Amino acid sequence: MCSQPSGERCTESRIRTHVGDLWNDPFPSADLHFYSMIYHDWPPEKCRFLTRKSFESLQPGGRLIIHEQLFNSDRTGPFSVAAHNIIMLLWCEGQQYSGRKLSAMLIEAGLTGIEVKPTWGYWSIVTGRKP
């Protein structure tokens, strides 16, 4: 048990990271997977692969969180996200996604309770829970 002078709970004993090859190494069992600014680097089929891989290694009740700049549902804006999308299309295999598109990937993998929540500026999280 960890105790802080201020009475705060220690997270060091509860949070772990795992070093590995995203594409080839198995994911350890976990109750949370958090991808921040990862999905926009990859085409949809690779994002679906990561989503399925996360689903398979999440414990029941575990959550997947994707943090990205999101297009609106029609992919017509906002302008800043569209401009970033052009950079992604020129620089790597990826693209910016909409909350609708990422939600569909989570549902396809078997996640439920999908939510899209704005965080700050053009960034949002898309989250789902493993039943």
Residue of 20 and 106 predicted with greater confidence: 106
Cα–Cα distance list, 61 to 6, 111, 129 (Å): 31, 10, 6
More confident call, 79 vs 125: 125
- pLDDT above 80 (res 11): no
Is residue 23's pLDDT more than 80? yes
Are 82 and 71 in contact by the 8 Å Cβ rule? The answer is: yes
pLDDT exceeds cutoff 70 at 2: no
Give me Rg for the CA atoms of the chain.
Answer: 16
Q: Which fold has domain 30-129?
A: Rossmann fold (3.40.50)
**pLDDT score recorded for residue 26:** 93
Domain ranges of the chain: 30-129
Query: Is 90 exceeded by the pLDDT of residue 7?
Result: no
Record the pTM.
0.84
Q: Tell me the average pLDDT across 50-77.
A: 92
